[in-house]
Amino acid sequence: MACHTDRDTDIKNAVFKTELIIKYNGSNVVSFDVLHHLGNGDVKDREKQYDGSIGWDEKNRTLWWKGVMWKNRTIAMKGTLRPFNPRKGTWSYSEDQFTKGQDKPVWQGVWVCSEQEGD
């Protein structure tokens, strides 16, 4: 799945593509990887940034991950993938970053995604 955004103005540090790589074993989700590709060539891999877990809400068809930052255990994040427009095969992916213990996010990002065949 690939996600794109054009709202960033600093091209070198802007996320120009977000990849969501979801692997299954039968009907069970075994991994949910999030890779943000920046304009300067860097790739931000959420698994390398956050110590977390994944979950699936069957009723709402929502896949999520949440964790705390490896380098700063006071920062937490949750990423959520949910259907956006099922007829068109689009999904919404959002990230909310929190200071640990706080309810209100200090940062939020939302992307509209479309499914792409994997390699």
Opening angle at CA 3, ends 88 and 101, nearest 5: 115
pTM of the model: 0.83
Residue 2: predicted pLDDT: 45
pLDDT per position as a tens digit, 102-115: 889 998 888 888 87
Q: Which parts of the chain register pLDDT below 70?
A: 1-12, 117-119
Q: Could you tell me if 94 and 108 are in contact, meaning their C-beta atoms sit under 8 angstroms apart?
A: yes
Question: What confidence score (pLDDT) does residue 87 get?
Answer: 85
